Amino acid sequence: MRFVLEVDLEAGALAGKNRAAELGRILRYWGGAMKQVPLVAGERQELSDSDYVIVGSWRIED
């Protein structure tokens, strides 16, 4: 299986001067939340910035 996380660095708050802080926030949130996610192929969720704009997603592939 493969865990894939994709983030558009030109979308939403990530396109601004606080890109690194926004990306860090997204990674910290999902890093902590992964223990509550079933790690099975087909699982997927969208990623949002601090303004709740969808900027990417993660998925688990076979």
Per-residue pLDDT tens over the stretch 18-61:
999 999 999 999 999 999 999 999 999 999 999 999 999 999 99
Residue-level pLDDT at 18: 93
What pLDDT was estimated at residue 28? 95
The domain spans of the chain are 2-61
Strand order in the sheet with 54-61: 2-7, 54-61, 44-48
pLDDT at 35: 92
DSSP for the chain, written as a single string: -EEEEEE-TTSGGGGSTTHHHHHHHHHHHHHHHGGGS---TT-EEEEE-TT--EEEEEEEE-
**Residue 14's pLDDT is what?**
97
pLDDT at residue 21 in the model: 96
Q: Is the dihedral of CA 8, 6, 29, 31 positive or negative?
A: negative
